[in-house]
Amino acid sequence: MTRPLHPNRRAQRGVSLVFSLITLVALSLAAVALIRSVDTGATILGNLSFKQDTLLAADEASRRAISWLDVNRGGTTLNASIEAQGYRAMTVNGLDATGTRTGDNTRAVVDWNMNDCEDHPSNSYASCIKPLAAAMSLGPNDVEARWLIVRVCSATGDPTLPSVACARPITASAAPTAEKGEMNYTDPKLQQIVLSQYFRVIVRARGARNTVSVTETLVHF
Is 53 part of a structural domain of the chain?
no
The answer, yes or no, to whether residue 147 has pLDDT greater than 50, is yes
Is 153 part of a structural domain of the chain?
yes
Share of the chain above pLDDT 70, in %: 74
Is 158 part of a structural domain of the chain?
yes
pLDDT tens, 166-179?
988 776 444 555 55
Q: Bigger pLDDT: 24 or 110?
A: 110
10 Å CB burial of residue 167 (0-12, 13-18, 19+) is middle
- Residues in the chain, total: 221
pLDDT at residue number 9: 55
pLDDT at residue number 20: 75
Q: What is the pTM of this model?
A: 0.71
Under a CB-based contact definition with an 8 Å cutoff, are residues 78 and 72 in contact? yes
10 Å CB burial of residue 181 (0-12, 13-18, 19+) is exposed
Is 143 part of a structural domain of the chain?
yes
pLDDT at residue number 208: 82
Is 9 part of a structural domain of the chain?
no
Is 118 part of a structural domain of the chain?
no
* SS (HEC) of 102-169: CCCCCCEEECCCCCCCCCCCCCCCCEEECCECCCEEECCCCEEEEEEEEECECCCCCCCCCCCCECCC
AA letter at 54:
T
Q: Bigger pLDDT: 49 or 141?
A: 141
Is 207 part of a structural domain of the chain?
yes
Q: Name the domain count of the chain.
A: 1
Predicted confidence band of residue 6 (pLDDT cuts 50, 70, 90): low
Query: What's the CA gap between 85 and 81, in Å, rounded?
Result: 9
Is 203 part of a structural domain of the chain?
yes
- Give the mean pLDDT of the chain: 81
pLDDT at residue number 183: 55
Least confident of 91-105, 159-173, 199-213: 159-173
Range of the domain at 87: 64-92+132-178+188-219
Under a CB-based contact definition with an 8 Å cutoff, are residues 50 and 207 in contact? yes
